[in-house]
Structure 1
C-alpha cells in the first residue's frame, strides 16, 4: 500500500466511462447526471459557463476521474488543484496521512497536488478531452460549456521556475503538448466507440485550455510579493486573475468572537496568522491597483474567498500540529469577509467564492452576484459528487449577467450565517456513528440506525411501511422486538437517530416520531388482533418490577409460550416512566396503552404486590425469577453544609401533586444528565418558582444529557449556570466554586480547573440529580453475588446470576439506563429462560432505484408519514465509502450470484486521505480493511491489505492475499478462499476489466 496515486492512461479512463455508462447507467459510480440547458448560460472570462458552480482546488480536482465525476453531476467551473515547485514525492512526504476529516466541520492538512507538476498537467488535459466528448456523447451540455481555472502558488520565484512556467504556458495553449496530441489521436483512431461524437467534434477541440488563474499564497506572504505575483500573471502571462484572500483579514478578535458565539469555542487558533498574514489596510490599495491594471488590459480581476483558515490540532483530529478548517464553520467567516470587501468596493470587486458553500446557502451566494462558487466539504460527505446535481439545478437562472456584487444581499448573508441552524454548531458534540465491529470483506451494507438501537429494531422496514400508510403492519414490525411502542415513541433516547446517515445531509430521519405515528394509527387494529399465546413451555416465571425492563421480560416470556406473573408494588405499570417522568414529557394514557398490550398477551399482572424473596417465589411454584426492580436507592450529594433533595423523590412528588409544592422561588438543580433536565423543567413549572437554575461543573457541550433534552430545558426557561461546582447551602444561597475548562489532554478531552473564585446562587431548594444506585441489599439478601461496586454478577449473554434460574435486568443491573436498554435486558432474560429467539427480522423492501435517487439529495423536512421518504436504505445499499472518496478508489460492484452490491478498494487510485474512515459505519477504514485490487504483485507486496492482483484476466488468474497468506489462484482450481471472494475476483476480470491496469 502506498499513498502515491497512479494516474490512469487516457484509454483506460475512456473505456471505463463508456463501459460503465452502458452497463450501469452511471459514470464513476455517479447516479445523478446533470443536463445543462443553454438558456441558463452565463459568461465569464469571455467564455461560456453552463453552471456557476464546481469543485474547489482540492481533492476533487486532482485526478482526471475526479474532474469527470464532478462534471457529470453538474460542475462546470473547475478550480484545478494548486501546483507549486515542490511536488511529487517531496511534497507527499510533507503531508501526514490521513489528511482529511469531514464528518462535521471539515479539517485537512494537505494543500497542493501530490502529483508531479507534469503529471498534474497531463491529468488536467486528459480531463479536458474527456469532458468535451462526454458532454456531446451523453447529452450533458455544450462541448464549450465548462471552464478550467488553474491555481498556482506560492511565490513568484517558484511561479517563474521552468517547471511552473511550462505548466502555465501549456495550460494556456496546449496544442503542441505531447499529451494533447496523444489524446486527440486516440479519440480520432477510436471514433467508432461513440454514437454522437464525430471526427469534426474531436478536431475542433481547442488547445486553449485556461485563460484564468487563481493565485494561492502561503500564510505570511507579504503584500508586495502577492502583488508581484499578480502583476506577473496579468501583464506577462495575460491571465484573468483571482487572488485568494484569507479570513485572517477580518482580524483575530472578530474571528474568535464569531467562532465562540456560534459554538466553535473549542476550535483553537492564536493571533499569529492574523498578525503575519496580509493586513486589510494593505489589501485594499493593492486590490484597487490590480483592478485598474486588469481594466486597462481588458482582463477580469477579483478575489477568491477563501484561501485557508489554519487552526491548531487539539483533539487528535489529524496527525499534524496545524490543520485547515473548512465547511460550515468557515462559512460565517468567509461570507463576512465577502461582505466587508463588497462594502469597501461598493460591489465593484468581483468575488469567486469558496468556504462552506453548500446546498443550504449557495443560492443566496449566487443571487448576491458572487460567482463562480466552488465547493469541497459538501462533496466529501455521503452523497459525494452526486450532491452537485442538486446544487446546479438550484442555480438555474435565465439572463444572469454579472454587473456587480449586491452589497445589501451579501451583508444579509453574513448576518444570517451567524444564526443559521446549518452553520451554528450543535450544543452537544455529535455522537459517534461508529459500530464497535470490524467491517467485513463482503456484505458490509448495514443500517447504522438498527445497529445503534439496543434492541435492533427493524427501522428501515417500519419506516417504509409508515411512509406507505401501512400503520398496522409497521406496528407489527415494531412490536416484534418492542412491546412499548408508545413509551419509546415518546421518550426513547433514540440512539438510532444519532447513527442515521442523514445526519451528514441535514438532520436525522425522525425515527422516534415515525414509531409514534405507527403506534397512534395502528394500535387499535393491532390490539384487536392480539391474542394470548397458548402456554406451551413448562414452568412459571415471576418478574419482579413493572418498569420497562419488567414489562418487556413479561411480554416476551408470554410470547414464548410461558406462563408469567408480573409483580408490581405500586398501583400501575411503568416504573420510573409512570411515577417519575413528568406528565409534560409523557402522558399516563400513553403508558396505559403499552400496559394494555401486555394484558392482551395474557400476562398475569399483580399490582400492589411487593416481592423480595426468591425462596418464597419458588415455594409458590415459580421456576424462574427476573429481578427488574430498577435503581431505587437514592444517589446522594454531599455538601459542606445544607442538604439537597433527591431528584427522583422530587419528581415523584411533582407528578403526584401536579406541581403544587412549596419549594420556594429559587430552585437549583445540580447535574447535567437527562434526569437533571426533567427535574429543572419540572421545577420551573412548580407553583411559586420564579427561577430554576441548573448547575454543572463543565459547559453544556460536556453535559451527558441528550441535546434534545437540553434544548427543551432552555426553551422552558431553565437558567444554565455552567462551570460551577457546588460547595455548601447556607442562608438561602448555594455557594459554588467557579471552574474553567483546561487544555485538551491526550485523549482530546478538556480538563476542569478551579479558578479560585466563588459564586453565590439564590437557592430556596437544592435538588441533586446525580444518579441512583442499584438495590445491593436486596440482591445480597437473596444470595446473589455482587462486584466491588455492589452490582450483581451476571452472565452478559443471559443476565443469569450465580443462582440458577434467577436473572437481573434493567436499571437494577448497571444503574440508571434508557427505556430501550431496559427492553433489551428484559428480552435477553426472557430468551435465556425460554431458550430460543423470540423475534424475527424484517428486511426493508425499498426499490434500489428509489434509494439511489435519494442519495446525494438534501431533503426538505417532512411531517407525518412522508418522513420515511428520507431514509437512505442503508441496510441494502450503504456505499458511504464509495460516495465520499474523491478519487473513486472505493467502488461498488455487482458480483453475479450475490444479491447486493459489494465494495472493493482500488489501491492505485488511493492517496490515503482517510475520508472514507470518517463515514464508514464500522470501526474501520475501508481503504485499509476492504478487499483490495492492486495494480500488480509489487504493489500487493508493499501492502498489508487483504486483496488481489490480476495476473491474467482472460484466464481469471490472480495473486491473492487472504487471512495473511498469499497464493495464486486460477478459475477452476480448488481454494480455501471463500467462494464469494473468488466470484468477486472473477467479476473484476470479466465484468470490470477496465479496472485492471
Structure 2
C-alpha cells in the first residue's frame, strides 16, 4: 500500500456525501445523532464575518482533505484553520507520523499535498459545506469561516506557487477547480430538495480574508515581522501569528513538565535559545498591532505552536518530533496570560494547545477566541468530539467579537492549570491499553476491559444491566465467571480499568464499584433461585486451601456436579482475604456472602486440618483429584543490618491485627517498607494500633511508581500515612532506620525510571518498628515433600493449560504457584483447574449466560452511539454505568480516530458473524499516519490488517494487504481478491453467491460493499 492519499474528484465527493446520508444517515462516518444542530441564533463575529461556533480543527491532519473538513463541519466545527502550505510541498515524511497515545507527537508540519492540490481540496470543501448547510440544515447565510495557514519564510511565501495559493483563496472565481465545482452542482441539482441554481450561483469565491502565519522554530524575529507586514499590507489579510511555547524559557518549561509528571519528555535547550525571546516578541507585537491598525486590518497571536522535543523511546521515526495535547495546556494558557498582561488585556488571541471539553468554556469566557483543536480529535470519538465542544460554547456566544480579555479570569485559568487533574500525568498512564491479541480480518470488536481481566469478566453486559436496574441478571452475569463477587467488588485490583477505552477520553469507568452494586442488590434474589447441583460424577475432589484459588476451583467443580471438599488449617474459609486484609477495606459480612454462594453449589468444608497432610493421604481417603491452593506461606525477609527483632513481616502483623489489635505493641513510630497494597494495608492498620503516633512508608522510587492501587494510595494519604520516597533501608539500630538516598535514572523503553543510589548520602528516620511488605515466598519444601517438581530457579513445573503438576491428578494454583498475586488472578487459576478436571471427567464447563439474558439491541445501538465522543467526569452511584462505551458491541475506534476517514464501518448481517459492524479500509484515503494502530485494542495496525478496498489494479498490485479491487461492476460483478497472500478472481452471480473458495462471511462482506456502497469505489 502507498502512504500517498488519492484525492476524490468533486462530483464523487458530492455523491459520496449524499448517498451515504441517504443510505445510513451518516456523512463520512458521522452519524446523524452526532450532527451539530444549532439551538439558538447566536454567533460570533471574526474579521467582519459571522461564525455559528468559534471552534474548529487546527491546521493539521483534520483540515488537510475535503472529507476531513466536511466531517468536522457535521459535528460542530465552523472555524477551519486550513493545513499549512509552504514552498516545499509534496514532502516525503517518514511514517508513522503521529503518536497520540496520551500527549500527542507528530513529525509532519505542513500539508503532504502539492500546494495547488491542497488548494483544490479547500475549494471542494468550501462548496460541499455550502450545500450541507442548505440541504441538511436549511441555512442560506454562511456561518462558517476558512482561515488559510502558510509558512515558513518570506521568500517562500512570496514565491509564485504560494502566492497563487493565497490569491486563489482570496478570490477563487477564475480558478479551474472553483468553476468545476460550480458546474457539477448545477448538473446535479436533482440530488437536492433545498439547493437550487440561484443558491449555487451565489456561493462566494472569496474563501479567505484571513491568514495564520506558522514559522519554524528558530526563525529570526526580523523575518517573522517582515512576513506579517507583507501579509497585512501587500496581501490585505487579517493575520494571526503563531507563537511558540519556547517563549516561556527552558527552565520554566522544564520545571512545569517535572512538576506535572512529564519528566520523561526530553527537551533541547537550543530550541529555546535559538527561538524568539519573550521580550523581543512583545516589542514585535506592539509594532505589528500599530502597523495593522494603520492598514485597517486585524492582527493577533495564535497560541500556541507545537513544542519540539527529542525522540528517545522510538515514538516516531527520526530524532525530533513536535508535542501537542494536554501536556501543552499549562504552558499555552500561561503563555496567553503572560502575553496578555503585557498588553493589559488588549490582545487578540486565537487558541490551540490542549483545549478540550473540560476547559474550552473557561478559555472562551476569558475572551480567547476562536479555539482550534487537534489532539483531542485523534482520540477515540474523533471528529464527533466537536459536537460537545460546540454545544458547550453555544450558550456563551454574544453576536460580537471579543474586544478585550478578562484578565482576572485568565489569571485564574493559568494558575489552576498546574493542578488540573485532566492535565497531570501519572506513571500509571504509561500502561498500554492494548491487548496481546492479534487483529482478525472480521469480527474484531472486543471490550478491552474484558481482555484485561484475568477471568475475562463480561463487564459491559453487567454494567448495562446495573444501569437498567436489572440487578439479579447482572449478578447472574458476574457469577457465571466469578464466584467472589463481593470480594472482587470491594478489593479487586481491577486490571479491567487499566484497559478501559474511557482512559482515552477522561477517566476509566469505575467498574469495580458497579460490580459491588450488582452483588449487594442482586444477591438475595439470585440465592432464592439457586438449587444444589445433582452429582454428575462419582469422582471426588479435595481442595487444600480455602483462599480465592481453592474456593474458585471448588465452586466451578461443584456447579458442574462434582463432589468437592475444601480443607483448610484455619477455622473458617476466605484465606488471605479473611485473615490478612483489614476489615476497614472489606467487611467480614461481604466475605461471608461469597462463601455462602460457594456453599450453595454443594461445596463441603473441613477446617482445622493439619497443613502438612500429604497428597498421598488425600488420595488414600478416596479423593480422585487434589488441588493445592495453599498460598505463599513464607515472609520475604528484609535484608538490612541491625535490630532484627524490631522488624516484622507485614502479613503476620496484619493477621495479628485482625485477631487482636489490642495486644500489639509497635511503639510510637512505624516504618513500612514497600509500595504495594499490602504496604498500604499495613500502614493504615498500624495507625489504628494503640500507641502509634506516626507511620511512614519507605519506598525506593517515587509514589507515582508504587504498584499499589491508586485508591489505596489515596486512602493511605487520607489516613495520615507519611510517604518517604526515594529511600532504600540499609540498617536499623538504636531506634534509627538508616536509608540510602536514591535518585531516578533515565527512563527505559517502558517509561519506568530505575532507582540509582546517591553514593554517600543517607537519611535517618526515627522508628520503633519496621514492617516489611516486600512480598511472600512459596513454601517449596512442602511441595517437594509431595513429589512436585520444582525447577532450580523455583519455577514449579506444571502444564500451563491445565495447571496439573507432574503428580498425576494433582493441580496447583493461586499464590502457591505464582507467588503473591491478586484475588482475580487466583480465581483465574481456580477456573483453569476446574476446566481441566471437568474435561477429564467429560463434564460440561459452562460460563455462558446469553441464553438467559437479553438486551434491546436497537436501544443499545442508539445509546452507545450517542455516548460516543462525549467527555464525562466520573458519576455518582449507578449513573456511572452510563459512561461505559460497550466496545464489544460497537467499537469502531479505528474509524473514529482516522483523520482521513480511511477506516469505514460497514453494517453486515450474516451467519457466523458476531459483530454488528465490520471494518473496511480504503487504501486511497490512507496516508499511514499510524493513529489507528495506536488506539486499536489489538496488538496490530488496522490499516495493515483489515479488509482493504483498492480503487485501481495498480494500487492493488503495489500492496500486500488482504483486500480486493472491483474489476467489473453490474449484475455479475468480478473482484480481484488477495487473501492470505494468494490472489484470485472472485465472480458473483446476481444473488451474491460465488463458487470461489472463500468464507461465506467474507463473500457477504465484499458483496455488501459492491451492492450497497458504490460511492466507496466509484471514484
Distance, in Å, in 1 between the alignment partners of 2:451 and 2:750 is 26
More off after superposition, 176-185 vs 757-766:
757-766
> Secondary structure of the residue that 2:372 maps to in structure 1?
strand
Partner of 1:457, secondary structure, is coil
Residue 824 (str. 1) matches residue 828 (str. 2)? yes
Q: What SS does the corresponding residue of 1:758 show, helix, strand or coil?
A: strand
Check the 8 A contact 1:896/1:987 in 2, yes or no.
Answer: no
CA contact (8 A) 1:327 1:356 kept: yes
Structure 2 alignment gaps of length 5 or more:
none
After TM superposition, the structure 1 stretch with the greater mean CA deviation from structure 2, 891-900 or 874-883, is 891-900
Does structure 1 residue 857 correspond to structure 2 residue 870?
yes
Instruction: Indicate the SS of the match to 1:187.
Output: helix
C-alpha spacing 1:37/1:510, structure 2 compared with 1 (3 Å): closer
Partner of 2:64: 62
| Residue equivalent to 1:595 | 595
Question: Structure 1 residues 659, 355: closer, same or farther in 2, change over 3 A?
Answer: farther
Secondary structure of the residue that 2:641 maps to in structure 1?
A: coil
In the other structure, the counterpart of 2:542 is 542
Task: Decide whether aligned partners of structure 1 residues 271 and 945 sit closer, same or farther in structure 2, where only a CA change above 3 A counts.
Answer: same
Partner Cα distance (1:869, 1:435) in 2: 24
Aligned partners of 2:492 and 2:217: how far apart in 1? 49
- Deviation per CA, 1:22-67: give whole Å up to 9, x if none: 1111111112101235621111111111100000001100010000
Provide Cα deviations, 1:804-848, integer angstroms capped at 9, x if missing partner.
111001111111111011111112111211223232144873521
Q: Distance in 2 between matches of 1:642 and 1:315?
A: 44
Alignment of 1:749-768 (within 5 A): 749-756=752-759, 757-768=761-772
- Alignment check: 8 A CA contact 2:264 2:747 kept: no
Query: 1:663 maps to what in 2?
Result: 666
Equivalent-residue separation in structure 2 for 1:661 and 1:403 (angstroms): 69
1:895 corresponds in structure 2 to 908
What is the aligned residue count?
993
Deviations 1:402-424 (A, max 9, x none): 12111111111111111111111
CA pair 714-322 structure 1, distance change in 2 beyond 3 A: farther
Measured in 2, the distance between the counterparts of 1:501 and 1:727 equals 43
Q: Does 1:621 align with 2:638?
A: no
CA separation in 1, counterparts of 2:831 and 2:141? 63
Match of 1:36 among 35, 38, 50: 38
2:805 to 796, 801, 804: 801
In the other structure, the counterpart of 1:949 is: 965
Partner of 2:304: 306
* Alignment correspondent of 1:680: 683
Matched, 1:959 2:980: no
Partner Cα separation in structure 2 for residue 429 and residue 194 of structure 1: 49
Matched residue SS, 1:396: helix
In structure 2, what is the equivalent of residue 876 of structure 1?
889
Q: Is 1:907 aligned to residue 923 of structure 2?
A: yes
- Following superposition, the deviation at residue 749 of structure 1 comes to 4.3
Q: Secondary structure at the match of 1:949?
A: strand
SS at match of 1:526: helix
Q: Structure 1 residue 994 and structure 2 residue 1015: aligned? A: yes
Task: Say yes or no: does 1:226 pair with 2:224.
Answer: yes
User: Matches of 1:288 and 1:152 in 2, distance apart?
Assistant: 22
CA distance in 2, matches of 1:417, 1:178: 48
1:245-266 deviation line (CA, Å, top 9, x unaligned)? 1111112222222222112122
Deviation at 1:641, TM superposition (A): 3.2
Per the alignment, residue 507 of structure 1 pairs with: 507
Mapped to 1, the partners of 2:713 and 2:561 lie a distance apart of: 42
Distance 1:659 1:246, change over 3 A: farther
Q: Report if aligned partners of 2:154, 2:223 keep a CA contact under 8 Å in 1.
A: yes
1:542 positional shift: 0.6
Aligned mates of 2:521, 2:616 — CA distance in 1: 44
Matched-pair contact (CA < 8 Å) for 1:37–1:50: no
TM-score by length of 1: 0.98
- Structure 2 distance, partners of 1:287, 1:449, is 51
Q: Secondary structure at the match of 2:512?
A: helix
Are 1:3 and 1:911, in contact at CA under 8 Å, matched by a contact in 2? yes
Structure 2 SS opposite 1:206: coil
Contact 2:950 2:963 in 1 (8 A): yes
The 1-side partners of 2:422 and 2:748 are apart by: 29
* Partner residue of 1:979 out of 1000, 1007, 1012: 1000
Q: Can you list the C-alpha shifts for 1:874-917, whole angstroms capped at 9, x where unaligned?
A: 11111000000010011101234356110011111111111111
Cα deviation for residue 958 of structure 1 reads: 1.4
Q: Does residue 327 in structure 1 map to residue 325 in structure 2?
A: yes
CA deviation map 1:119-157 (0-9, x unaligned)? 001000000000010110101645411000011000101
* Structure 1 counterpart of 2:570: 570
Partner of 2:754, secondary structure, is: strand
TM-superposed CA distance for 1:477, in Å, is 1.2
Give the match for residue 717 of structure 1: 720
What CA distance in whole angstroms lies between the structure 1 residues aligned with 2:737 and 2:311? 38
Q: What secondary structure does 1:429 align onto?
A: helix
Q: 1:740 aligns with which of 728, 743, 768?
A: 743
Q: How does 1:136-215 map to 2 (within 5 A)?
A: 136-139=134-137, 141-215=139-213
SS of the residue corresponding to residue 51 of structure 1 reads: coil
- Contact 1:667 1:765 (8 Å CA) reproduced: yes
Tell me what 2:634 maps to: 633
Cα shift at 1:435: 1.3
Distance 1:867 1:744, change over 3 A: closer
CA contact (8 A) 1:953 1:990 kept: no
**By how many angstroms is 1:478 displaced?**
0.9
The match for 1:394 among 392, 395, 407 is 392
More displaced stretch, 764-773 vs 380-389: 764-773
Residues 627 and 812 in structure 2, CA contact (< 8 A), matched pair in contact too? yes
How far does residue 993 in structure 1 lie from its aligned partner after superposition? 1.3
Q: Any conservation in 2 of the 1:774–1:791 contact (CA below 8 Å)?
A: no
CA distance in 2, matches of 1:147, 1:195: 25
1:362-441 equivalent positions in 2, closer than 5 A: 362-397=360-395, 398-401=397-400, 402-441=402-441
Q: Are 2:483 and 1:483 aligned?
A: yes
Superposition deviation, residue 747 in structure 1: 5.8
Aligned residue number for residue 580 of structure 1 = 580
Higher mean Cα deviation, 50-59 or 586-595? 586-595
Q: Unpaired segments of 5 or more residues in structure 1?
A: none
Distance 1:800 1:640 in 2: 41
Instruction: Give 3-state SS (helix, strand or coil) of 1:741's partner.
Output: strand
Question: Contact 1:554/1:564 (CA < 8 Å) preserved in 2?
Answer: yes
* Contact kept? 2:427, 2:705, Cα under 8 Å: no
- Larger CA deviation: 186-195 vs 972-981: 972-981
CA–CA separation in structure 2 for the residues paired with 1:479 and 1:746: 39
Runs of 4+ deviating beyond 6 Å: none
- Mean CA deviation greater in 321-330 or 365-374: 321-330
Match for residue 55 of structure 2? 53
SS in 2 for 1:158: helix
1:252-267 superposed matches below 5 A = 252-267=250-265
How many angstroms apart in 2 are the aligned matches of 1:660 and 1:131? 77
1:751 alignment partner, SS class = strand
Distance in structure 2 (CA, Å) of the matches to 1:155 and 1:328: 29
Residue from 72, 82, 85 that aligns with 1:83 = 85
Following superposition, the deviation at residue 279 of structure 1 comes to: 0.7
- CA RMSD between the two structures: 1.6
How far apart, in 2, do the equivalents of 1:270 and 1:720 lie?
Answer: 33
Counterpart Cα distance in 2 of 1:656 and 1:488: 23
For residues 132 and 538 of structure 1, the distance between their equivalents in structure 2, rounded to whole angstroms, comes to 77
What secondary structure, in the 3-state scheme, does the structure 2 residue paired with 1:57 have? coil
Q: Deviations over 1:347-375 (max 9, x none)?
A: 11100000000000000111111110000
Counterpart CA distance in 1 for 2:939 and 2:849 is 24
